[in-house]
Amino acid sequence: MDWFYIQGILMLAGINLIAVLGLSLLTGFTGLFSFGHAGFMAIGAYLGALMTVSPTTSPAGLGLPFAVGVIAGGAGAGIVSYFIGRITLNLKGDYFCIATLGFGEAIRLILNNVQLFGGSRGWPGVPYKSTLPAIIIVDILAVIFLANLVRSRHGRNMIAVREEELAAQIAGVNVFKYKMIALVVSAVYAGVAGVFFGHYMTFIQPKMFSMTKSTELTIIVIFGGLGSISGSVLGALLLTALPEILRAFEIWRLVFYGAAVILIMISRPKGLMGGMELTPAGIRKARNERKARVQALKESKNSQNGEVGVG
Amino acid sequence: MIQFMQQLINGLSIGSVYALMAVGYSLVYSIMSFSNFAHGGVIMLGAYFGFFALTLLKLPFILAFILACAGTTLLAILVERIAYKPLRERNAPFLYFIISAMGASILLENIVIATIGPTFRTYPAVIPRTPIQLGALAVGRLDLIMFFISAVCLTGLILFIEKTKMGKAIQAAAYNIKACALMGVNTDKIILIVFGLGGFLAGVAGVFFGMKYTVYPQIGNITTKSFIAAVFGGLGSLPGAVLGSVLLGTIETLVAGYLSSQFRDLIAFVILIGVLIFRPSGIMGKNTVDKA
């Protein structure tokens, strides 16, 4: 395995991680599930390409610097998500999920018909701008922003919405507003991920942003553990590398992947790191909780034995 | 006018197959309140069972048909036992069911790709392709049979649910599964039967779909549309699923015929979004009150 190959996997994992971190806020911390985030990635990828593709190779390109593309992609996805949120965030549980699925697929099918961007044939000639250092820097910034957001008053309100929506509402949390913030932030993350994805592949096609991609992102969040940023990081690294490790099995690898997803759901539903963080404080907290649990178990056993003795 | 009638006939025929698939989604949703995305994989395997029963085993059509349906019935039950039962026992939130269903769908699709291969396969011509002429209109024999058998299956299903004791138990479970279990109904058995019924209809739909078009591992993507039909009609409502499917099939063929086949898929998702915005419970779904 040469460095170029490993670097490629790391870059893909880093790009996935940006989108997964956003989704982690929406799913892990606010409790909303989306099957349409590939649509936001598509918006980011196409808007980003629109900015950076040189006008000589494609009539749609503007030939602007990469940074402009990143900002435009993120902002575009965020704005679209705001309007989608306005009409769908009042839907309950399953229906919100289905609505995001519908929007994600609709975005892809609309792009299929935009001839300016090559339609379903795809859009070649996107400049290769995503470098590993750039991706790592964006990942770090994304983690720092997310960690601070989650620990702020706003983050606590989001967690309250996840835990018990009705109770949060009664306690004075503006549920709709916090759901909206989570959705828009996650869409911006997905949009930025899309820009990097497009500028890594140098070719974009609506097919890349199908429901399968959305599902993949959600699966990573769940695999890493709901409500854990370090879980999302681990999940993105492991699950992007897993198909590559299994590449020796060629066509069987997706069979294993599907089986692994079911296995995780039925055996370890909290994911790798559900609700825990890999920081010194997080580890201490998890240890204390574990101790308390063992203690409680012992006490309940003792009291049971005591009762039997009295009886 | 002739063209319109012709499109309407085509729409009804595809709508009736959608209905067979959509009912499977709705049945499971009515009892377990989650969207069983593995259903698409079961339909796809139904098409393959029928195909191999006809070509490899060289069975007569009726036997192949029965074999395919039996196979999908068992498969649907197997999926429930492996992917959902452990979650049910733990009272897991609905999302885990959906993810598990997604996993099962990826698993089924890729098992087929790995063992049978991703190539497109065409059913042998069991039913003559020559259409029946009704005046200026041409009605495909297959379309006619599809429509007829779908109607029989769906009527049978609705009769089963309305008239039998077991059907009454299913209705009760759809109303409130916990209370139903407290009344002494074996809800585990009910869920088994619901998955079996959905699987059986998936087999019928799979064979017909394979006969009308081709068989390939990604048929599951088309079943997404039947899921939309189920939402359109109102998730959890069987008559709604049938009505939604027929409407969706007709609208799709009309759009493909008069506007552009490019918009055929898009219109399905536009309908989905429209329904969710203006009437999330669908045409015939019961308005659920959030009990919190």
Model confidence pLDDT, tens digit, residues B66-78:
999 999 999 999 9
* Residue B287: band (very low, low, confident or very high) from pLDDT cuts 50, 70, 90: low
- Best residue of A30, A84, A97, A98 to probe chain B, by most B CBs closer than 10 Å: A98
Distance (Å, whole) CA A257 – CA B42: 18
Q: What is the pLDDT of residue B174?
A: 87
* A195 touches A47 (CB < 8 A): yes
- Chain B residues with CB under 8 Å of A265 CB are 83, 87, 92, 96, 99-100, 103
Burial-class residue A215 by CB neighbours within 10 Å (0-12, 13-18, 19+).
buried
pLDDT digits (tens, 9 = 90+) for B174-193: 888 888 889 888 989 999 99
Amino acid letter, B97: F
- CB contact under 8 Å between A95 and B111, yes or no, is no
* B271 touches B30 (CB < 8 A): no
Q: Is 50 exceeded by the pLDDT of residue B289?
A: no
- Best residue of B42, B107, B252 to probe chain A, by most A CBs closer than 10 Å: B107
Q: Does B289 touch chain A (CB under 8 A)?
A: no
Nearest to B262 among A102, A113, A255 (CB): A113
User: Residue A154 is inside which H or E element, if any?
Assistant: helix A153-163
Please give the C-alpha separations between residue A64 and each of A44, A60, B232, in angstroms, as whole numbers: 15, 12, 44
- Chain A residues with CB under 8 Å of B233 CB are none
Kindly state the average pLDDT of the residues B111-138. Answer: 82
Q: What is the pLDDT of residue A92?
A: 75
Q: Does B33 touch chain A (CB under 8 A)?
A: yes
Nearest to A266 among B100, B102, B265 (CB): B100
Among all residues of chain B, which has the CA nearest to that of A89? B277
Q: What is the pLDDT of residue B291?
A: 39
Distance (Å, whole) CA B254 – CA B248: 10
The per-residue pLDDT of chain B, averaged, comes to 86
- CB contact under 8 Å between A262 and B228, yes or no, is no
- CB contact under 8 Å between B87 and A266, yes or no, is yes
- CB contact under 8 Å between B280 and A255, yes or no, is no
Give me the residue spans of the domains in chain A: 3-278, 279-311
| Backbone phi and psi for residue B139, each to the nearest 5 degrees, phi listed first | -115, 120
pLDDT digits (tens, 9 = 90+) for B32-55: 888 888 999 999 999 999 999 998
Low-confidence ranges of chain A (pLDDT < 50): 308-311
- Chain B residues with CB under 8 Å of A259 CB are 103, 107
Among all residues of chain B, which has the CA nearest to that of A27? B95
Q: What is the pLDDT of residue A304?
A: 64
- Chain A residues with CB under 8 Å of B92 CB are 265, 269
Please identify among residues 74-103 of chain A the ones whose CB lies closer than 8 Å to any CB of chain B. 87-88, 91-95, 97-99, 102-103
- Chain A residues with CB under 8 Å of B231 CB are 98
Report if residue B88 sits inside a domain: yes
Q: What is the pLDDT of residue A311?
A: 39
* A214 touches A39 (CB < 8 A): yes
Nearest to A258 among B110, B235, B270 (CB): B110
| Backbone phi and psi for residue B149, each to the nearest 5 degrees, phi listed first | -65, -40
- CB contact under 8 Å between A94 and B94, yes or no, is yes
Task: Provide CB contacts within 8 A for B178, sequence distance 6+.
Answer: none
* B199 touches B75 (CB < 8 A): yes
Please give the C-alpha separations between residue A208 and each of A123, A201, A213, A214, in angstroms, as whole numbers: 12, 11, 7, 10
pLDDT digits (tens, 9 = 90+) for A41-68: 999 999 999 998 888 777 777 888 889 9
Please identify among residues 32-71 of chain A the ones whose CB lies closer than 8 Å to any CB of chain B. 33
How many helical (H) and strand (E) elements, i.e. helices and strands, does chain B have? 12, 2
Q: Is CATH 1.10.3470 the classification given to domain A3-278?
A: yes
- CB contact under 8 Å between B33 and A222, yes or no, is no
- Domains held by chain B: number: 1
- CB contact under 8 Å between B94 and A92, yes or no, is no
Please identify among residues 139-158 of chain B the ones whose CB lies closer than 8 Å to any CB of chain A. none
DSSP three-state, residue A123? strand
Closest Cα in chain A, distance from residue B192 (Å): 18
Q: Which two tokens stand for residue B259?
A: 């506007």
pLDDT digits (tens, 9 = 90+) for B201-220: 999 999 988 888 888 887 76
Among all residues of chain B, which has the CA nearest to that of A253? B110
Q: What is the pLDDT of residue A15?
A: 94
- CB contact under 8 Å between B277 and A219, yes or no, is no
Q: What is the pLDDT of residue A293?
A: 79
- pTM here is 0.83
